[in-house]
Structure 1
Amino acid sequence: MESRVRLLRVGPAGAERPAVLDAEGRIRDLSGVTGDIDGDFLAGGGVERVRGTDLGTLPELAPSTRVGPPVARPGKIVCVGLNYSDHAAETGAPEPAEPVLFMKAPNTIVGPDDEVLVPRGSVKTDWEVELAVVIGRTARYLADDEAAMACVAGYAISNDVSEREFQLERGGQWDKGKSCETFNPMGPWLVTADEIADPQRLGLRLRVNGETRQDGDTANMIFGVAEIVRYLSGFMVLEPGDVINTGTPAGVAMGMPEPKPYLRAGDVVELEIDGLGSQRQKVGQA
């Protein structure tokens, strides 16, 4: 049996099936173990059931199968803005005294290699590589960091795609520039929390058309994972399957000199975080 658990969902959009990577990196079908990888799976001992399964007995799926987002139907996506000191500096904003919060529509989540669409009328579509935290048990009014970390099921990569004009120049509310369709590629895997010894020691990188734009480390977060989960639990109830995007390091288009290299149809964006795999998206037009 394999103790390491890297969960994923594969198949056509909207019809993905649950899967797991075995020790050799082969995709194994989990349909006989669970109906999906969702909040009920995470809260109901699903990971433990997978650990207790001989993965070699599960059907193997073709490696060319499309990979979808690793968590089905999250109830909410909560995001933390300006959470890296270098990113706050590049935007001209002071470091926040408390986490800056906003929400993304849950249906922004797509697979890690799915197309990202520039919205109609957009002139400032931007990228943001982020560590995503997936909640595994209900969290409300958590007392301390230990209690917060006990609520973390695992981690994944998110691209918090953002339209800066919609976000900042259209009458307020960041959500306008954050919730366009396809604006949260996620995955490829959900890596269980026990596999990541320290979520504040992960390198994260992003390239556009082969050129490195972001090269940061979660050590530079202003508010770490434990503090974010604890803090959020005092303002809202976090449910199993919820996703938290924890902020992005410097290197976004908005922070660059004119002419800023915002995304256009035909661009290719590649992201990676240590231990969490990689993403590759081609940009299209809505």
Structure 2
Amino acid sequence: MRGRISPTVSIIVPTLNEARNLPHVLVRLPHDAEIILVDGHSTDDTVEVARRIRPDVIVTHQNRRGKGNALACGFAEASGDIIVMLDADGSADPAEIPAFINALEAGADFAKGSRFVKKGGSADITRIRQVGNHLLNHLVNMLIGSEFTDLCYGYNAFWRRIVPVFDLERGRVSLEKQWGDGFEIETLINMRAVRAGLRIAEVPSFEHPRLHGASNLNAFSDGFRVLRTIFVESSASNKGSAPDTRWESEQVPPTQRRAAAVLALHGQRNQSEAVALASGESRS
């Protein structure tokens, strides 16, 4: 009898001058996983270090600035059944990856890391960031009926087939950040996952302090970007239409693109039901 075939895994690692941290991160990643390093044009030897440690690493460069754009570029390159989002600064523990995979294999579409559930935690988050996260988290739950415990955390995993639901194509090259290009990316995909009716499971995760270097996160400016994302995405849901996002060159409206993805995930739905679900009118 043939043995069980495990899903393949792609790990997306956004980097910007992380040469000192990568030796501690890449050596702990599964040897059989596809590692996609998305570099933001580092000025140190980030890429060279990555290739020395993991000769099989796939290196690509983002076409704009910001973590969100880096992830979108990485998602487009991934070939695994499951995609894992992993920070390069050592804050996310690679040993937790099996727990995310187990949640997906148990039936979830999207496995969301949480520092604020039992067995989760953080040795890095500041008091002001924790308060801000809780307030934003409560606001999103109230506006869209979600049950998140940790809105602004970037350690997540999901089946690659749901990527179209997020509507995060690479888009055009630009020197300026566009909609969803920054740290608000986690909030954006979390809210769109809910609006698409995906099965979401929270996975306990412990956040460690950054190993070396300074974080690019700014609690105030990034917090405002997250707040804007919340209101734009929830407003689109209330109006029954998708927000006017950065993809100006796309000919197909975002709601219809996400509806097509919903149809692919939930074949039992008809076209009108899928459009309603993609725009947030229904969560059946």
TM over 0.5: no
| Structure (1 or 2) with the greater strand fraction | 1
State the TM-score, normalizing by the size of structure 1.
0.31
| Structure (1 or 2) with the greater helix fraction | 2
State the TM-score, normalizing by the size of structure 2.
0.31
